[in-house]
Amino acid sequence: MKKITYKTYGPAEVMEITEASIPEPGSGEVLVKVMAAGINPVDYKVRNGSLKYIAPGKFPRTPGGEFAGVVEKNGDNSKKFSKGEKVFAMLNMAGGGYSEYLSVKEDLLSRMPEKWDFADAAVVPLAGLTALQALRDKGKISRGMKVLINGGSGGVGMFGIQIARALGAEVTAVCSGKNVDLVKGFGADRVIDYQKEDFTRLPVQFDIVLDAVAKSSPAQCSRIIKPRGTYITTVPAPGVMIRQLTNPIRSRKTFGILCKPGGEDLDNLANLMQESKIKPFIEKKYTLGQAVQAHQHIETGRVRGKLALTM
């Protein structure tokens, strides 16, 4: 089988396509024939070494934090899924998704919604779980809340808008002018073009501000957050984490989200997918052999929706 590997941290070109033997599923694991993998900013941040102190794993490494595929074989003590079932999952930061076969703990897997194609399912888990866990666990989102999502055209923002709408919130999304129509299509009630208007100076206040692209600070957003509201960012930088520690003495709460994989939350997303409340936009699909170009694309920081690798 083929997979993408790299033996050293560095630019996209350190990645190469290599031959490997198909892994045997261990106890509690399932062997999956991967049909598509999602591409996320974390893939290049691990590859270039920026996350070397927090991302586990040894060289040679295989990138990829999410995938969709078909169950091929069960390891001992794995009974939840059977051969032929379509599944999808988020992996931990060690990655591994850019591979034709993968042995994975069955607890991480969820059944793919019927009728979904593999690429669409593969790009949901990582950004979708991040948005779900941010809005539900940190923001305590509920029906009728006002939510602002900065970075509505990226992966986390796209799913954030759709999840917040599905949970009954009123959503204002922020993106650049060229993405306004795309973001309206995700269901945002109102869209702010950041090239024309500074969202941190809006004359309204929100229950939740989710900065999906981590371009604003909690202090900058404070004036547009209701007194008991919440600021959440996807890049938990040291300043954010220090402020998070002071939440008990502040009325406006601050959180940095660190997404956790897991089949149970993914089942929740699968239900929203089944009900057509979540639908990804994939700007471009690459083949496994085009992983270098795919990383060069995501590193621009300009991806609309998501990118996928098809096997």
Ligand X SMILES: NC(=O)c1ccc[n+]([C@@H]2O[C@H](COP(=O)([O-])OP(=O)(O)OC[C@H]3O[C@@H](n4cnc5c(N)ncnc54)[C@H](OP(=O)(O)O)[C@@H]3O)[C@@H](O)[C@H]2O)c1
Contact footprint for ligand X (CB under 6 A): 40-42, 126-127, 130, 150-151, 153-157, 174-176, 178-179, 194, 212-215, 234-235, 257-259, 298, 301-304
Min. distance of Cβ 295 from ligand X in angstroms? 12
Nearer to ligand X, 145 or 183 (CB): 183
Q: Which is nearer to ligand X, 18 or 268 (CB)?
A: 268
- Could you tell me the smallest distance in angstroms from the CB atom of residue 225 to ligand X? 17
Both tokens assigned to 119: 């690429």
Find the helix or strand (DSSP H, E) in which 296 lies: helix 291-298
Give the residue at shortest CB distance from ligand X. 154
Please report how close the Cβ of residue 176 comes to ligand X at its closest, in angstroms.
3
CB-wise, 25 or 139, nearer to ligand X? 139
Give the nearest distance from C-beta 277 to ligand X in angstroms.
19
Smallest separation, CB 116 to ligand X (Å): 20
Q: Give the three-state DSSP class for 252.
A: coil
Q: Where is 227: in which H helix or E strand? A: strand 225-233
Task: Record the tokens describing residue 221, joined without a space.
Answer: 């957003």
Query: Which of 78, 233 has the CB closer to ligand X?
Result: 233
How many angstroms separate the Cα of 129 from the Cα of each of 53, 189, 219, 233, 263? 23, 22, 26, 14, 10
Between residues 30 and 39, which has the closer beta carbon with respect to ligand X? 39
In the complex with ligand X, the residue whose CB is nearer, 80 or 215, is 215
Whole-number Å distance between alpha carbons of 292 and 267: 32
Q: Is 146 helix (H, G, I), strand (E, B) or coil?
A: strand
Are 80 and 106 in contact by the 8 Å Cβ rule? The answer is: yes
Strand partners, 60: none
Least Cβ distance, residue 251 to ligand X (angstroms): 25
Which secondary structure element, helix H or strand E, spans residue 264, and what is its range?
helix 263-274
